Amino acid sequence: MSTLDNILEEINKAETIVILTHENPDGDAIGSALALYNSLKQIGKNPDVIIPEYPRTFEFLPGAEETKKESDVEKYDLAISVDCATIKMLNGFAKYFENAKSRISIDHHSTNTMFGDLNYVSPDAPACAQILLVVLEYFKVDITKEIGTCILAGIITDTGGFKYSGVTAETFEFVAWLANKGINVPKVYRKVLQIKTRANFELNRIAANRLEFYEDGKVAFTYITKEDEEKVNSESGDHEGIVETGRDIEGVEVSIFLRETDKGCKVSMRSNEYVNVSDVCLLLGGGGHIRAAGATMQCTIEQAKEKILRQIKSVI
């Protein structure tokens, strides 16, 4: 019996199901969670999706309005985590996963700790949503426009619009398949990657003005503060994409973006060709992918900057 057969068996026998993903979810996390949500509803289940906060960018995704900030169910029959490498990354809602009778992890991070009772992890996939398409096809779910839109949003987000190194011919085959199903690829692409909120635009401008270069221009560094976010009336997700500003500059190998929070700062790191930023972020208590990773540091921006640049210097 394959892992997917076991997963389907757990889904079929579960009366109560909760779908979870990592804190500060991106399009792949939200798209994967909602694709699974819509699929489980199609096969007669009534799952909960718990996503306390998500960027306004993804409000258009089918099922987004049905997400919950929390649940009053103490013990679910089944908890399914998507696009999450460790149970720690589930943050405040890890309790729903830990308390469930059965636990499943579906993911594409190479740093996945296999924290589920059943784990379906494929690090070669550039997006969790791409894995989910394979899973749902195996389950013989009808990939509707609603489900396909969620999957496409996830693929577009985690491939940076098909520009990251993890993209393969198979990725384009999946997207072509979704287009043939009637999903409007240009429309989803524009909503996910091109349309910015006014606050996002203002934060990008602030961060661009602060951009500094180190290691002969191979490292770009910038940050935003809580005060910056308050000044532009920022909402959840309005800081997304800022780290790409440095990455897209000629000669830059590593782009570092810090965002001040109440508990310290969030680190976003990207690389272009040879630096494994996942390894760097692991040393900082985080993780992620070879070319895109992050961490949470309980210190000031200046302290975090000094520590990160010291780590980067040894690998650049």
Is 3.90.1640.10 the CATH number for 3-194?
yes
- Where in the chain is CATH 3.10.310.30? 198-313
CATH 3.90.550.10 fits 198-313, yes or no: no
DSSP string computed for 200-251:
HHHHHHHHHHH-EEETTTTEEEEEE-HHHHHHTT--TTTTTTTHHHHHTSTT
Angle at 245 between CA 297 and CA 309, to 5 degrees: 40
- Rounded Cα distance, 140 and 162, in Å: 27
The single-letter code of the amino acid at 72 is D
Confidence category of residue 85, pLDDT binned at 50, 70, 90? very high
> Model confidence over 205-238: pLDDT tens digits?
999 999 999 999 999 999 999 999 999 999 988 9
Backbone angle region of 87, left / alpha / beta, with phi > 0 → left and psi within -120 to 50 → alpha: alpha
| pLDDT given at position 154 | 98
Beta strands in 85-173 (DSSP E): 102-107, 118-121
The answer on pLDDT for 91 being more than 80 is no
Cα(232)–Cα(32) distance, integer angstroms? 30
- As a whole number of angstroms, the longest Cα–Cα distance in the chain is 58
Helix, strand, or coil (residue 128): helix
User: CA 268 to CA 255: how far, in whole Å?
Assistant: 8
- Which residues are CB-neighbours of 289 under 8 A, at least 6 positions away? 109, 110, 166, 277, 278
The pLDDT > 70 percentage for the chain reads: 100
Q: In which residue ranges of the chain is CATH 3.90.1640.10 found?
A: 3-194
Q: Could you tell me the strand order of the sheet in which 118-121 lies?
A: 48-49, 17-21, 78-82, 102-107, 118-121
Helix (H) or strand (E) holding 269: strand 264-271
What rounded mean pLDDT belongs to the chain? Answer: 95
Residue 1 binned pLDDT confidence (cut-offs 50, 70, 90):
low
Helices and strands counted in the chain (H then E): 12, 11
User: DSSP class of residue 90?
Assistant: G
Question: Using one digit for the tens of pLDDT, what is the confidence trace for 232-257?
Answer: 999 988 998 999 999 999 999 999 99
Amino acid at 56: R
| Cβ–Cβ < 8 Å for 285, 297 | yes
Q: How confident is the model at residue 24 (pLDDT cuts 50, 70, 90)?
A: confident
Assess contact for 281 and 288: CB atoms under 8 A: yes
Compute the distance between CA of residue 271 and CA of residue 288 in angstroms, rounded to an integer: 12
C-alpha radius of gyration, the chain, whole number: 19
What the block records as the tokens of 222 is 């910038």
Put the strands of the sheet holding 212-214 in their side by side order.
212-214, 219-224, 254-261, 264-271, 292-297, 287-288
Q: Give residue-wise pLDDT tens across range 102-147.
A: 999 999 998 899 999 999 999 999 999 999 999 999 999 999 999 9
Give the integer Cα–Cα distance in Å for 169 and 301. 40
